[in-house]
């Protein structure tokens, strides 16, 4: 203080606007002002964090006294800066019941601010938004209830100030009930003093009692407090000095709102408006547009005895004390290294998810339609209203079951509307997202961009079909959608971000539950504090490692291991999924379909599951039938399959069969019996064109005789049993399994699986012969078969035996993506239950997944693989996988593992056989089990912290 001249003291109270997205001339002009006039601080507007950090470092180096750097970051730095994390709008936060989350958000925004060299965040907005037509506050407010607004604002303030970043309550004395934007004009507030005291001033008083560091005075004309015509509250001594500082006794820093806003700039020139604001009692002049004139005008005011030097000095001391409190007495430049990564840290990303999840508000749920039940009875259309391309909401819905996507553009013609109505007539459930709404009501109609056509169409839809509507936009827009309250379910999602859409989709299917409450009254149908609750964990949720106490960076080893496998040409690509505690915490696709690097692997692509088929088809059916008393592992094969009676196989016990110790031969290369010495196929085996006699597609341009499958079964029945007892892994019983299951159920094997498992699970990519249902661009090719089929296996099964059975078998032939495999495995982990439905009776999965003959050195469960020697490197399981865990691997490079001790499901899908099966690198690298070990290591690290 003692080093500052009188002019420099005045300059300390001035803050100038800075943009990090402007040209060098702007950057240099700010530098010139700082060096010439020694202003006290900066307010940053649009730009990017690295550019802002470089500018901050330059300006701090050029400044005599460290600069106080400020920003509007109401919903995080993303309000102003690219490449940063966006937290929900305050209106969404107003719907959250758990205020601790808002405290943590305040603390995290403060940490990010400090990391970027920012000392004051102009937040929270404590305006009580009791005017739905408010053009400037609206979604920026916590709501219309003064108590709720105060609780949320206190949490936000305390969180920020716990990290020594000044909070700033705005806009004093309350901007919530205006219909004029003070950026454009001067709003007039005609309230009584009693109303102001009881409503608008309430949150300010409560925050002041709790140590509010700063606040901002709004530009509003309030006749009951000061009836001077056209005088903004910012420039009113009665409001700033008398009401705020004297009556309310506020001692913190008082900032003006931006002095270039039309609410004040319309009436006074730059420099003049600043001195008026200072004389009114404000401590800091924000957005001074003419620093030279401002300093001169303030000096004149001192000479004219309108204000004393002592009063200026008092405010400067207050500002310097605040600078000291935020740490500027120990100033360090902003470190540029890892800046973007630090500002986008996983903890903050997860916190943003938690806040969004907690805000989602369910306003209608007729007959408890949510979470959606009985997926196998539904034909679902996902309609994006207001959008023209696939939305994150539609993608999120598609993770749970098959949905077909449709779009209703705001500009749709009557013909297009009629055509869409006709298309949707085939569906018995419509899930509609309302997108791309305007944030503000807008002038004129004030309908947030909802057109008459959109209203008409939705109204008709709601009347004619079960319809779920999620509105991604300003919550007040709900009042503008006709008949919305008649929909079967209504979700208020507050804003349109990928995270919001993702979580709304999870709410629909029960991955997460609804828990938000409406922070404003929208209409007679949707009232203040409306909000229904639904259960979570009904189906898989999709989240982050932080959701289960694991740090994202501790799973980085997965990416490295898969990258290594691709680099070493162990596989051209892969899908990896990890779920813990019913939450998918890692889901990623790597590489390409083949080594030509043409088609990138996506999460929705299908892989040939190879032997993972055994536990996804045969074992699913056997366990279900066991629970129904129709199958017993201590019965013999002959009792379930008449065709084996009279052969060596009839007395084989299923407990021995399923643990691969029934002395069955390992496998039979059936196709070799079809080839003549000349290399051509025998007459009644294959043809290159389909016909009535040769209808079974084995590969492109290869069709099998309709009765040839009988020879396959005959070959199995005639194959002698191994002489020696003991463990030999065999496919043969699993090839017969569909016949056993059909014999027990009198149902087609494939139909039985679809109806009893895949369709109700929503695991609709689990299918045989995927070429019949999916474009080849979504199916990952396996190997080029040079011997039998002489072509690339793409859309047809890799295993020769399964191919000769028309692609449908109990040992191989199933395709699917990691997401759908995980649903089935999660059902096993849940001991036979998933999504409100019991698929397999209690305790059956547990019984089947136990080691049956460990004492004899056979470590297999019934149909499932188990850790041969827990803790051993290079084994069939991750070293840390407990002995209770189980799963299976597949020849094509697939693997899935279930760990009931740690509540884990793991799926790894690859096509390591492309282009040739003679590639053992994936096994040599142990990629599949090493990836799972990364998860165990991460869990261990989280315990140690």
> 383 falls in which pLDDT band (50, 70, 90)?
very high
240-269 residue pLDDT tens: 999 999 999 999 999 999 999 888 888 999
| pLDDT computed for residue 190 by the predictor | 85
Q: Which residues 6+ apart lie within 8 Å of 452 measured at CB?
A: none
Is 433 inside any structural domain? yes
Q: What is the pLDDT of residue 135?
A: 67
User: Are residues 566 and 535 part of one domain?
Assistant: no
Residue 550 lies in a domain: no
Average pLDDT over residues 802-823: 98
The contacts of residue 758 (CB under 8 Å, 6+ apart) are 764, 766, 767, 820, 824
Same domain? For 749 and 658 the reply is yes
Domain for residue 225, yes or no?
Answer: yes
pLDDT higher than 50, residue 291: yes
Exposure class string for 403-427: b at 16+ Cβ within 10 A, else e:
bebbbbbbebeeeebeebeeebeeb
| Range of the structural domain that residue 310 is part of | 6-342
Phi first, then psi, for residue 4 (nearest 5°) are -90, 135
Task: Give bridge partners of residue 834 from the DSSP assignment.
Answer: 837
20 falls within a domain: yes
What gap in Å lies between CA 122 and CA 407, rounded to an integer?
39
How confident is the model over 876-882, as a mean pLDDT? 95
788 and 911 belong to one structural domain: yes
Which of these three, 316, 342, 368, is where a domain ends?
342
The number of distinct structural domains making up the chain is 3
CATH number at residue 905: 3.40.710.10
Query: Where a domain ends, among 342, 374, 392?
Result: 342
- Enter the pTM of the model: 0.96
**Cα–Cα dist 732/647, whole Å:** 14
- CA distance readout (Å), 924 to 19, 834, 893, 919, 934: 55, 36, 12, 10, 17
The answer on pLDDT for 443 being more than 70 is no
pLDDT digits (tens, 9 = 90+) for 514-564: 999 999 999 999 999 999 999 999 999 999 999 999 999 999 999 999 999
Q: Is 170 helix (H, G, I), strand (E, B) or coil?
A: strand
Give yes or no: residues 449 and 379 share one domain.
yes
Query: Is 442 a residue whose pLDDT tops 70?
Result: no
Distance from C-alpha of 85 to C-alpha of 88, rounded to nearest angstrom: 10
How far is Cα 818 from Cα 804, in angstroms, rounded to an integer?
A: 26
Same domain? For 378 and 329 the reply is: no
- Given a cut of 50, whether residue 444 has pLDDT beyond it is no
Confidence at residue 175, expressed as pLDDT on a 0 to 100 scale: 83
- Which range, of 411-420, 755-764, 825-834, averages the lowest pLDDT? 411-420
Please report, rounded to a whole number, the percentage of residues in the chain having pLDDT higher than 70: 99
d(CA 575, CA 569): 16
Q: Round to whole Å and give the CA distance between 756 and 832.
A: 12
Coarse DSSP helix, strand, coil percentages of the chain, rounded to the nearest 5 percent: 40, 15, 45
Residue at 551 is within a domain = no
For residues 585-599, average pLDDT:
97
From the list 97, 86, 75, 76, the residue with the least C-alpha distance to 518 is 97
759 inside domain:
yes
Does residue 608 sit in the same domain as residue 684?
yes
- Average pLDDT, stretch 273-285? 97
Average pLDDT taken over every residue of the chain: 96
CATH number at residue 269: 3.20.20.300
Task: Looking at the structure, tell me whether residues 604 and 535 fall in a common domain.
Answer: no
Nearest Cα to Cα of residue 502 among 376, 611, 398, 621? 398
Q: Quote the CA–CA distance of 255 and 252 in Å, as a whole number.
A: 10
| Burial category of 344 from C-beta neighbours within 10 Å (exposed 0-12, middle 13-18, buried 19 and up) | middle
Same-domain pairing of 483 and 599: no
Q: Which residue has the higher pLDDT, 874 or 646?
A: 646
Q: What is the pLDDT of residues 365-376, one digit of tens each?
A: 999 999 999 999
* 515 and 602 inside one domain: no
Bridge partners of residue 576, in order along the sequence: 588, 908
Residue 135 lies in a domain: yes
Helix count and strand count (H, E) for the chain:
33, 30
More confidently predicted of 329 and 679: 329
CATH number for the domain that contains residue 448:
3.40.50.1700
Q: Are residues 207 and 301 in the same domain?
A: yes
Residues 638 and 722 in one domain: yes
Q: What DSSP element (H or E) covers 195?
A: helix 193-195
- Across 807-821, average pLDDT: 98
User: Is 70 exceeded by the pLDDT of residue 884?
Assistant: yes
**Closest-CA residue to 232 (of 219, 243, 215):** 219
Residues 289 and 428 placed together within one structural domain of the fold: no
- Establish if 275 belongs to a structural domain: yes
Q: What is the pLDDT of residues 133-142, one digit of tens each?
A: 776 788 999 9
pLDDT digits (tens, 9 = 90+) for 7-60: 999 999 999 999 999 999 999 999 999 999 999 999 999 999 999 999 999 999
């Amino acid at each position: 203080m003692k080093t500052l001249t009188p002019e420099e003291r005045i300059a300390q109270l001035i803050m100038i606007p800075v943009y990090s997205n402007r040209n060098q001339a702007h950057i240099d002009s700010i530098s010139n002002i700082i060096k010439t006039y020694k202003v006290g601080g900066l307010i940053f507007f649009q730009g990017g964090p690295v550019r802002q950090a470089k500018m901050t470092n330059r300006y701090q180096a050029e400044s005599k006294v460290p600069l106080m750097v400020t920003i509007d970051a109401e919903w995080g730095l993303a309000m102003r800066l690219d490449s940063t994390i966006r937290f929900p709008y305050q209106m969404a936060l107003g719907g959250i019941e758990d205020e601790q989350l808002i405290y943590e958000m305040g603390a995290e925004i403060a940490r990010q601010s400090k990391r970027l060299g920012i000392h004051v965040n102009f937040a929270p907005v404590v305006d009580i938004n009791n005017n739905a037509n408010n053009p400037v506050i609206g979604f920026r407010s916590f709501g219309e209830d003064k108590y709720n607004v105060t609780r949320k604002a206190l949490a936000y303030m305390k969180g920020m100030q716990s990290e020594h970043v000044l909070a700033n309550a705005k806009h004093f004395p309350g901007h919530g009930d205006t219909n004029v934007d003070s950026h454009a004009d001067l709003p007039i507030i005609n309230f009584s003093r009693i109303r102001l005291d009881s409503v608008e001033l309430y949150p300010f008083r409560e925050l002041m009692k709790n140590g509010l560091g700063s606040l901002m005075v709004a530009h509003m004309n309030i006749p009951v407090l000061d009836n001077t015509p056209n005088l903004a509250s910012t420039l009113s001594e009665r409001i700033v000095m008398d009401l705020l500082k004297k009556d309310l006794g506020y001692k913190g820093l008082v900032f003006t709102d931006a002095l270039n806003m039309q609410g004040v700039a319309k009436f006074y020139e730059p420099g003049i408006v600043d001195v008026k604001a200072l004389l009114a009692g404000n401590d800091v002049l924000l957005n001074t547009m003419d620093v030279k004139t401002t300093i001169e005008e303030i000096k004149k005011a001192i000479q004219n005895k309108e204000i004393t030097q002592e009063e200026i000095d008092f405010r400067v001391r207050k500002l310097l004390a605040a600078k000291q409190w935020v740490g500027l007495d120990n100033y360090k430049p902003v470190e540029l290294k890892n800046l973007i990564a630090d500002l986008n840290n996983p903890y903050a990303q997860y916190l943003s998810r938690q806040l969004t999840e907690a805000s989602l508000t369910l306003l209608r749920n007729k007959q408890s339609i949510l979470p959606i039940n009985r997926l196998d009875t539904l034909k679902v259309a996902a309609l994006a209203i207001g959008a023209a391309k696939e939305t994150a909401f539609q993608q999120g819905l598609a993770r749970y079951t098959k949905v077909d996507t449709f779009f209703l553009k705001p500009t749709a013609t009557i013909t297009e509307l009629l055509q869409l109505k006709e298309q949707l007539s085939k569906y018995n459930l419509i899930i509609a997202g309302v997108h791309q709404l305007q944030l503000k009501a807008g002038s004129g109609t004030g309908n947030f961009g909802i057109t008459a056509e959109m209203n008409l169409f939705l109204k008709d839809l709601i009347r004619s079909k079960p319809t779920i509507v999620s509105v991604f936009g300003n919550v007040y827009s709900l009042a503008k959608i006709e008949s919305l309250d008649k929909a079967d379910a209504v979700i208020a999602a507050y804003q349109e971000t990928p995270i919001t859409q993702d979580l709304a989709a999870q709410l629909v299917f029960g991955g997460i539950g609804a828990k938000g409450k409406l922070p404003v009254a929208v209409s007679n149908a949707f009232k203040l504090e409306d909000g229904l609750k639904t259960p979570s964990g009904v189906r898989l949720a999709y989240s982050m490692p932080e959701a289960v106490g694991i740090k994202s960076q501790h799973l980085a080893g997965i990416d490295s291991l898969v990258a290594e496998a691709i680099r070493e040409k162990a596989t051209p690509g892969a899908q990896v999924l990890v779920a813990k505690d019913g939450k998918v915490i890692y889901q990623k696709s790597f590489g390409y379909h083949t080594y030509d690097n043409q088609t990138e692997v996506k999460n929705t692509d299908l892989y040939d599951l190879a032997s993972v088929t055994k536990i996804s088809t045969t074992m699913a059916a056997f366990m279900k039938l066991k629970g129904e008393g129709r199958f017993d592992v201590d019965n013999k094969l002959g009792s379930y399959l008449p065709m084996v009676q009279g052969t060596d196989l009839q007395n084989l016990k299923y407990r021995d069969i399923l643990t691969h110790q029934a002395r069955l031969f390992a496998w039979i290369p059936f196709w070799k019996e079809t080839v003549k010495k000349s290399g051509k196929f025998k007459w009644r085996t294959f043809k290159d064109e389909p016909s009535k006699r040769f209808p079974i597609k084995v590969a492109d341009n290869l069709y099998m005789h309709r009765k040839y499958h009988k020879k396959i079964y005959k070959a199995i029945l005639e194959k002698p049993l191994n002489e020696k007892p003991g463990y030999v892994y065999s496919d043969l019983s699993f090839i017969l399994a569909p016949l056993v299951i059909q014999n027990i159920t009198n149902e087609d094997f494939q139909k039985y699986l679809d109806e009893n498992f895949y369709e109700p699970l929503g695991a609709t990519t689990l299918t045989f012969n995927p070429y019949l249902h999916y474009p080849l661009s979504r199916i990952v090719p396996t190997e080029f078969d040079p011997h039998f089929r002489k072509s690339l296996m793409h859309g047809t099964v890799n295993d020769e035996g399964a191919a000769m059975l028309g692609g449908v078998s109990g040992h191989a032939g199933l395709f699917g993506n990691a997401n759908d495999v995980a649903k089935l495995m999660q059902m096993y982990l849940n001991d036979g239950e998933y999504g409100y439905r019991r698929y397999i009776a209690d305790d059956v999965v547990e019984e089947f997944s136990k080691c049956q003959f460990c004492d004899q050195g056979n470590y297999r469960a019934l149909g499932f693989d188990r850790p041969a020697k827990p803790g051993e490197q290079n084994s069939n399981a991750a070293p840390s996988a407990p002995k209770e865990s189980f799963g299976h691997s597949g020849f094509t490079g697939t693997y899935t593992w279930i760990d009931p001790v740690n509540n884990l499901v793991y799926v790894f899908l690859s096509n390591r056989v492309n282009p040739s099966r003679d590639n053992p690198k994936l096994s040599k690298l142990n990629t599949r089990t090493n990836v799972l070990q990364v998860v165990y290591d991460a869990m261990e690290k989280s315990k140690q912290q």
